[in-house]
Amino acid sequence: MINKDRLINFFEKIVKIDSPSKEEREIMAFLRAHLESLGFKCHEDHAAEKSGGNANNLYGVLKGNPDHKSICFNAHTDTVKSTKNIKIINNGDTIKSDGTTILGADDKAGVAIIIEAIQSIIENKTPHGDIYVLFTVQEEIGVSGAEMIETDAFSPDYCFSFDTTVPVITLVAGAPTHFIMKYKIHGKSAHAAYAKNSVNSIFVAANAISKLQTGILDEDSCCNFGKIIGGERFNIVPDYCEVWVECRSRNNDKANKLEQKITKTFEEECERAGATLEKEIRCGYRAFNIDKDDPQFILARNTALEMGIEPEIEYSLGGYDASIFNEKGLKTMVSSTGYDKMHTTDEVLYIDQFVQACEYAYKLIENV
Protein backbone atom coordinates (compact mmCIF):
# COMPACT_ATOMS: atom_id res chain seq x y z
CA MET A 1 0.00 0.00 0.00
CA ILE A 2 2.75 2.43 0.95
CA ASN A 3 6.47 2.32 0.19
CA LYS A 4 8.23 1.59 3.48
CA ASP A 5 11.79 2.22 2.25
CA ARG A 6 10.84 5.50 0.67
CA LEU A 7 9.06 6.55 3.89
CA ILE A 8 12.17 5.85 5.97
CA ASN A 9 14.55 7.47 3.46
CA PHE A 10 12.42 10.58 3.32
CA PHE A 11 12.32 10.77 7.11
CA GLU A 12 16.10 10.40 7.38
CA LYS A 13 16.54 13.07 4.74
CA ILE A 14 14.38 15.66 6.46
CA VAL A 15 15.78 15.17 9.96
CA LYS A 16 19.12 16.17 8.46
CA ILE A 17 17.63 19.53 7.52
CA ASP A 18 18.10 21.48 10.73
CA SER A 19 14.93 23.38 11.65
CA PRO A 20 14.64 24.61 15.23
CA SER A 21 11.65 26.91 15.83
CA LYS A 22 11.77 30.12 13.76
CA GLU A 23 14.42 28.61 11.44
CA GLU A 24 12.26 26.44 9.20
CA ARG A 25 12.99 28.17 5.87
CA GLU A 26 15.18 25.43 4.40
CA ILE A 27 12.84 22.56 5.22
CA MET A 28 9.80 24.53 4.05
CA ALA A 29 11.47 25.27 0.70
CA PHE A 30 12.31 21.58 0.36
CA LEU A 31 8.76 20.49 1.21
CA ARG A 32 7.18 23.06 -1.07
CA ALA A 33 9.26 21.87 -4.02
CA HIS A 34 8.40 18.26 -3.18
CA LEU A 35 4.66 18.95 -2.92
CA GLU A 36 4.74 20.87 -6.21
CA SER A 37 6.50 17.95 -7.89
CA LEU A 38 3.54 15.80 -6.77
CA GLY A 39 1.09 18.20 -8.41
CA PHE A 40 0.15 20.33 -5.40
CA LYS A 41 -0.61 24.03 -5.66
CA CYS A 42 1.15 25.71 -2.75
CA HIS A 43 1.02 29.05 -1.04
CA GLU A 44 2.34 30.52 2.19
CA ASP A 45 1.02 32.97 4.77
CA HIS A 46 2.70 35.85 6.62
CA ALA A 47 3.98 34.03 9.72
CA ALA A 48 7.65 35.01 9.23
CA GLU A 49 6.92 38.70 9.01
CA LYS A 50 4.55 38.58 11.99
CA SER A 51 6.85 36.63 14.27
CA GLY A 52 10.43 37.37 13.28
CA GLY A 53 10.94 33.77 12.20
CA ASN A 54 12.44 32.97 8.80
CA ALA A 55 9.59 30.85 7.41
CA ASN A 56 5.85 30.94 6.82
CA ASN A 57 3.26 28.22 7.26
CA LEU A 58 2.92 26.23 4.05
CA TYR A 59 -0.40 25.26 2.46
CA GLY A 60 -0.82 22.82 -0.39
CA VAL A 61 -3.85 21.52 -2.23
CA LEU A 62 -4.14 18.62 -4.64
CA LYS A 63 -7.46 18.67 -6.43
CA GLY A 64 -9.40 15.43 -6.45
CA ASN A 65 -12.73 14.00 -7.41
CA PRO A 66 -15.51 16.38 -6.24
CA ASP A 67 -17.70 13.38 -5.37
CA HIS A 68 -15.35 12.65 -2.48
CA LYS A 69 -15.04 14.74 0.64
CA SER A 70 -11.84 16.66 1.28
CA ILE A 71 -9.21 15.97 3.91
CA CYS A 72 -6.39 18.00 5.39
CA PHE A 73 -3.22 16.66 6.99
CA ASN A 74 -1.03 18.71 9.28
CA ALA A 75 2.39 18.33 10.87
CA HIS A 76 4.83 20.89 12.26
CA THR A 77 8.24 21.32 10.71
CA ASP A 78 10.16 22.85 13.62
CA THR A 79 11.97 20.75 16.20
CA VAL A 80 12.30 21.56 19.89
CA LYS A 81 16.09 21.80 19.53
CA SER A 82 18.62 21.79 16.71
CA THR A 83 19.49 18.53 14.95
CA LYS A 84 22.62 19.96 13.38
CA ASN A 85 25.25 17.28 12.58
CA ILE A 86 22.79 14.54 13.53
CA LYS A 87 24.04 10.97 13.26
CA ILE A 88 21.18 8.60 12.57
CA ILE A 89 21.23 5.07 13.94
CA ASN A 90 18.74 2.78 12.21
CA ASN A 91 18.91 -0.82 13.47
CA GLY A 92 15.96 -2.04 11.42
CA ASP A 93 13.51 -1.80 14.35
CA THR A 94 14.11 1.70 15.60
CA ILE A 95 15.60 4.96 14.43
CA LYS A 96 17.50 7.09 16.95
CA SER A 97 20.21 9.71 17.03
CA ASP A 98 23.63 8.87 18.49
CA GLY A 99 22.56 10.63 21.69
CA THR A 100 24.30 13.93 21.04
CA THR A 101 21.21 15.55 19.48
CA ILE A 102 17.49 14.94 19.56
CA LEU A 103 16.15 12.89 16.64
CA GLY A 104 13.49 15.39 15.58
CA ALA A 105 10.89 12.70 14.86
CA ASP A 106 8.60 15.12 16.69
CA ASP A 107 7.35 16.05 14.22
CA LYS A 108 9.28 15.08 11.12
CA ALA A 109 7.79 11.60 11.44
CA GLY A 110 4.43 13.33 10.91
CA VAL A 111 5.75 15.19 7.87
CA ALA A 112 7.15 12.00 6.32
CA ILE A 113 3.91 10.06 6.99
CA ILE A 114 1.86 12.70 5.19
CA ILE A 115 4.15 12.91 2.18
CA GLU A 116 4.47 9.14 1.74
CA ALA A 117 0.74 8.46 2.19
CA ILE A 118 -0.11 11.03 -0.50
CA GLN A 119 2.65 9.91 -2.84
CA SER A 120 1.36 6.33 -2.64
CA ILE A 121 -2.26 7.43 -3.16
CA ILE A 122 -1.15 9.20 -6.36
CA GLU A 123 0.98 6.28 -7.58
CA ASN A 124 -1.68 3.67 -6.91
CA LYS A 125 -4.27 5.87 -8.62
CA THR A 126 -6.48 5.50 -5.54
CA PRO A 127 -9.58 7.68 -5.96
CA HIS A 128 -9.56 10.65 -3.61
CA GLY A 129 -11.14 14.03 -2.97
CA ASP A 130 -9.26 17.28 -2.50
CA ILE A 131 -6.22 16.76 -0.31
CA TYR A 132 -4.91 19.67 1.70
CA VAL A 133 -1.58 19.77 3.46
CA LEU A 134 -0.77 22.31 6.14
CA PHE A 135 2.81 22.34 7.39
CA THR A 136 3.25 24.69 10.33
CA VAL A 137 6.18 26.53 11.87
CA GLN A 138 6.94 27.31 15.54
CA GLU A 139 4.81 24.63 17.21
CA GLU A 140 7.41 23.97 19.87
CA ILE A 141 7.39 27.52 21.20
CA GLY A 142 3.76 27.52 22.27
CA VAL A 143 1.92 26.61 19.06
CA SER A 144 2.74 30.07 17.71
CA GLY A 145 2.76 29.04 14.05
CA ALA A 146 -0.78 27.69 14.24
CA GLU A 147 -1.96 30.99 15.71
CA MET A 148 -0.86 32.69 12.50
CA ILE A 149 -2.60 30.38 10.02
CA GLU A 150 -4.92 31.99 7.51
CA THR A 151 -7.86 29.66 6.93
CA ASP A 152 -9.97 31.69 4.50
CA ALA A 153 -10.59 29.69 1.33
CA PHE A 154 -9.45 26.62 3.21
CA SER A 155 -12.26 24.48 4.53
CA PRO A 156 -11.54 20.75 4.39
CA ASP A 157 -14.26 18.36 5.57
CA TYR A 158 -11.82 16.53 7.84
CA CYS A 159 -8.50 17.46 9.36
CA PHE A 160 -5.89 15.30 11.08
CA SER A 161 -2.69 16.40 12.70
CA PHE A 162 0.01 13.72 12.86
CA ASP A 163 1.80 14.68 16.03
CA THR A 164 1.50 12.47 19.05
CA THR A 165 3.32 9.62 20.68
CA VAL A 166 2.86 5.83 20.69
CA PRO A 167 0.97 3.56 20.62
CA VAL A 168 -0.21 3.73 17.03
CA ILE A 169 -3.11 4.31 16.62
CA THR A 170 -3.74 6.89 19.33
CA LEU A 171 -6.32 9.56 18.56
CA VAL A 172 -6.48 12.74 20.59
CA ALA A 173 -10.15 13.78 20.53
CA GLY A 174 -9.94 16.48 23.17
CA ALA A 175 -7.48 18.85 24.80
CA PRO A 176 -7.64 21.57 27.46
CA THR A 177 -7.94 25.31 27.80
CA HIS A 178 -4.57 26.57 28.95
CA PHE A 179 -3.75 29.76 30.87
CA ILE A 180 -0.32 31.08 31.67
CA MET A 181 -0.04 33.77 34.30
CA LYS A 182 2.76 35.93 35.65
CA TYR A 183 2.10 37.76 38.91
CA LYS A 184 4.57 40.55 39.61
CA ILE A 185 4.40 41.67 43.22
CA HIS A 186 5.84 45.07 44.11
CA GLY A 187 6.46 45.45 47.84
CA LYS A 188 8.59 47.96 49.73
CA SER A 189 12.26 47.43 50.45
CA ALA A 190 14.16 48.16 53.68
CA HIS A 191 17.15 47.04 55.75
CA ALA A 192 16.10 43.81 57.43
CA ALA A 193 16.68 45.32 60.87
CA TYR A 194 14.72 48.51 60.09
CA ALA A 195 11.80 46.85 58.36
CA LYS A 196 8.94 48.61 60.11
CA ASN A 197 7.26 50.09 57.02
CA SER A 198 8.49 47.57 54.51
CA VAL A 199 6.43 45.11 52.48
CA ASN A 200 8.08 41.75 51.87
CA SER A 201 7.03 40.70 48.37
CA ILE A 202 8.21 37.10 48.82
CA PHE A 203 6.02 36.76 51.90
CA VAL A 204 3.03 38.12 49.97
CA ALA A 205 3.64 35.53 47.24
CA ALA A 206 3.98 32.76 49.83
CA ASN A 207 0.70 33.77 51.49
CA ALA A 208 -1.12 33.69 48.17
CA ILE A 209 0.38 30.34 47.16
CA SER A 210 -0.43 28.78 50.53
CA LYS A 211 -4.14 29.47 49.90
CA LEU A 212 -4.07 27.69 46.53
CA GLN A 213 -3.51 24.18 45.27
CA THR A 214 -1.00 22.77 42.82
CA GLY A 215 -0.84 19.51 40.85
CA ILE A 216 -3.81 17.51 39.60
CA LEU A 217 -6.93 19.27 40.90
CA ASP A 218 -9.74 17.11 39.52
CA GLU A 219 -10.42 14.73 36.62
CA ASP A 220 -10.21 17.60 34.10
CA SER A 221 -7.83 20.13 35.58
CA CYS A 222 -4.31 20.77 36.78
CA CYS A 223 -2.26 23.71 37.99
CA ASN A 224 1.45 24.30 38.36
CA PHE A 225 3.45 26.92 40.19
CA GLY A 226 6.42 26.74 37.88
CA LYS A 227 8.83 29.51 38.74
CA ILE A 228 9.55 32.13 41.38
CA ILE A 229 11.97 35.01 41.07
CA GLY A 230 12.70 37.45 43.86
CA GLY A 231 15.00 38.79 46.52
CA GLU A 232 18.63 39.87 46.64
CA ARG A 233 20.30 39.29 50.00
CA PHE A 234 19.73 38.02 53.55
CA ASN A 235 19.49 41.50 54.98
CA ILE A 236 17.31 43.24 52.39
CA VAL A 237 13.52 43.07 52.52
CA PRO A 238 12.67 42.06 48.95
CA ASP A 239 10.54 44.62 47.16
CA TYR A 240 9.93 42.43 44.12
CA CYS A 241 8.76 38.89 43.55
CA GLU A 242 7.47 37.27 40.41
CA VAL A 243 5.43 34.05 40.32
CA TRP A 244 4.83 32.03 37.14
CA VAL A 245 1.77 29.81 37.15
CA GLU A 246 -0.08 27.78 34.57
CA CYS A 247 -3.44 26.04 34.76
CA ARG A 248 -5.30 23.77 32.37
CA SER A 249 -8.68 22.15 32.20
CA ARG A 250 -10.44 20.08 29.57
CA ASN A 251 -13.53 21.96 30.72
CA ASN A 252 -13.32 25.55 29.49
CA ASP A 253 -15.52 26.94 32.31
CA LYS A 254 -13.40 25.24 34.94
CA ALA A 255 -10.25 26.71 33.38
CA ASN A 256 -11.75 30.21 33.43
CA LYS A 257 -12.81 29.85 37.07
CA LEU A 258 -9.43 28.48 38.05
CA GLU A 259 -7.58 31.40 36.49
CA GLN A 260 -9.98 33.85 38.17
CA LYS A 261 -9.54 32.20 41.57
CA ILE A 262 -5.75 32.28 41.37
CA THR A 263 -5.70 35.88 40.20
CA LYS A 264 -8.16 36.97 42.90
CA THR A 265 -6.04 35.32 45.59
CA PHE A 266 -2.95 37.22 44.48
CA GLU A 267 -4.98 40.45 44.33
CA GLU A 268 -6.35 39.98 47.83
CA GLU A 269 -3.00 39.10 49.38
CA CYS A 270 -1.33 42.09 47.73
CA GLU A 271 -4.04 44.41 48.93
CA ARG A 272 -3.89 43.03 52.46
CA ALA A 273 -0.13 43.55 52.63
CA GLY A 274 -0.02 46.91 50.87
CA ALA A 275 1.80 45.56 47.83
CA THR A 276 0.88 46.33 44.24
CA LEU A 277 0.23 43.64 41.69
CA GLU A 278 1.06 43.62 38.01
CA LYS A 279 -0.53 40.75 36.04
CA GLU A 280 0.28 39.13 32.73
CA ILE A 281 -2.41 36.61 31.87
CA ARG A 282 -2.61 34.81 28.58
CA CYS A 283 -4.90 32.09 27.31
CA GLY A 284 -2.68 29.94 25.06
CA TYR A 285 -5.51 27.90 23.59
CA ARG A 286 -9.07 26.82 24.28
CA ALA A 287 -10.39 23.33 24.99
CA PHE A 288 -11.80 21.16 22.25
CA ASN A 289 -13.80 17.96 22.45
CA ILE A 290 -14.74 15.83 19.50
CA ASP A 291 -17.75 13.70 20.30
CA LYS A 292 -17.97 9.95 19.73
CA ASP A 293 -20.86 10.44 17.27
CA ASP A 294 -19.11 13.18 15.30
CA PRO A 295 -18.50 12.08 11.67
CA GLN A 296 -14.79 12.84 12.10
CA PHE A 297 -14.56 10.61 15.17
CA ILE A 298 -16.45 7.84 13.35
CA LEU A 299 -14.19 8.09 10.28
CA ALA A 300 -11.07 8.03 12.46
CA ARG A 301 -12.15 5.06 14.58
CA ASN A 302 -13.63 2.99 11.75
CA THR A 303 -10.50 3.43 9.65
CA ALA A 304 -8.38 2.11 12.53
CA LEU A 305 -10.78 -0.80 13.06
CA GLU A 306 -10.46 -1.68 9.37
CA MET A 307 -6.76 -2.15 10.06
CA GLY A 308 -7.64 -4.42 12.97
CA ILE A 309 -6.67 -1.84 15.60
CA GLU A 310 -8.97 -0.52 18.31
CA PRO A 311 -7.59 3.01 18.63
CA GLU A 312 -6.70 4.53 21.98
CA ILE A 313 -8.86 7.58 22.39
CA GLU A 314 -7.16 10.25 24.45
CA TYR A 315 -8.62 13.34 26.05
CA SER A 316 -5.31 15.00 26.68
CA LEU A 317 -4.05 17.72 29.02
CA GLY A 318 -1.45 18.80 26.46
CA GLY A 319 -1.53 21.51 23.81
CA TYR A 320 -1.34 20.98 20.06
CA ASP A 321 -1.47 22.91 16.82
CA ALA A 322 -4.87 21.20 16.67
CA SER A 323 -5.97 23.14 19.78
CA ILE A 324 -5.63 26.35 17.77
CA PHE A 325 -7.12 24.84 14.61
CA ASN A 326 -10.22 23.75 16.51
CA GLU A 327 -10.50 27.20 18.07
CA LYS A 328 -10.38 28.66 14.56
CA GLY A 329 -13.17 26.35 13.41
CA LEU A 330 -10.99 23.77 11.66
CA LYS A 331 -12.11 20.60 13.43
CA THR A 332 -8.99 18.49 13.93
CA MET A 333 -8.03 15.25 15.66
CA VAL A 334 -4.45 14.39 16.51
CA SER A 335 -3.03 11.04 15.45
CA SER A 336 0.10 9.15 16.52
CA THR A 337 3.24 8.79 14.41
CA GLY A 338 5.40 6.14 16.13
CA TYR A 339 7.76 8.49 17.96
CA ASP A 340 8.43 8.35 21.69
CA LYS A 341 10.64 10.08 24.30
CA MET A 342 10.33 13.29 22.30
CA HIS A 343 12.19 16.42 23.45
CA THR A 344 15.09 14.27 24.73
CA THR A 345 18.27 12.87 23.20
CA ASP A 346 16.74 9.38 23.77
CA GLU A 347 14.00 10.18 21.26
CA VAL A 348 13.09 7.07 19.27
CA LEU A 349 10.99 6.21 16.23
CA TYR A 350 9.58 2.66 16.16
CA ILE A 351 9.67 1.64 12.52
CA ASP A 352 6.72 -0.78 12.57
CA GLN A 353 4.50 1.82 14.27
CA PHE A 354 5.73 4.56 11.94
CA VAL A 355 4.79 2.42 8.92
CA GLN A 356 1.41 1.63 10.46
CA ALA A 357 0.73 5.33 11.07
CA CYS A 358 1.50 5.99 7.41
CA GLU A 359 -0.84 3.18 6.29
CA TYR A 360 -3.48 4.75 8.51
CA ALA A 361 -3.01 8.13 6.79
CA TYR A 362 -3.34 6.39 3.43
CA LYS A 363 -6.57 4.69 4.50
CA LEU A 364 -8.02 7.93 5.84
CA ILE A 365 -7.59 9.51 2.40
CA GLU A 366 -9.11 6.44 0.81
CA ASN A 367 -12.10 6.46 3.18
CA VAL A 368 -13.26 10.07 2.91
Which residues of the chain form contacts with Zn ion (CB under 5 A)? 106-107, 163
Residue 46 Cβ vs Zn ion, minimum distance, rounded to whole Å:
23
* Dihedral angle sign, alpha carbons of residues 31, 33, 36, 37: negative
Compare residues 75 and 185 and give the one whose CB is closer to Zn ion: 75
Compare residues 107 and 340 and give the one whose CB is closer to Zn ion: 107
Residue 172 Cβ vs Zn ion, minimum distance, rounded to whole Å:
12
Compare residues 120 and 353 and give the one whose CB is closer to Zn ion: 353
Compare residues 164 and 201 and give the one whose CB is closer to Zn ion: 164
Residue 342 Cβ vs Zn ion, minimum distance, rounded to whole Å:
7
Residue 55 Cβ vs Zn ion, minimum distance, rounded to whole Å:
16
Cα(237)–Cα(275) distance, integer angstroms: 13
Residue 50 Cβ vs Zn ion, minimum distance, rounded to whole Å:
21
Residue 139 Cβ vs Zn ion, minimum distance, rounded to whole Å:
6
Cα(348)–Cα(341) distance, integer angstroms: 6
Q: Facing residues of 276 across strands? A: 186
Compare residues 132 and 339 and give the one whose CB is closer to Zn ion: 339
Compare residues 270 and 348 and give the one whose CB is closer to Zn ion: 348
Residue 225 Cβ vs Zn ion, minimum distance, rounded to whole Å:
25
Compare residues 183 and 288 and give the one whose CB is closer to Zn ion: 288
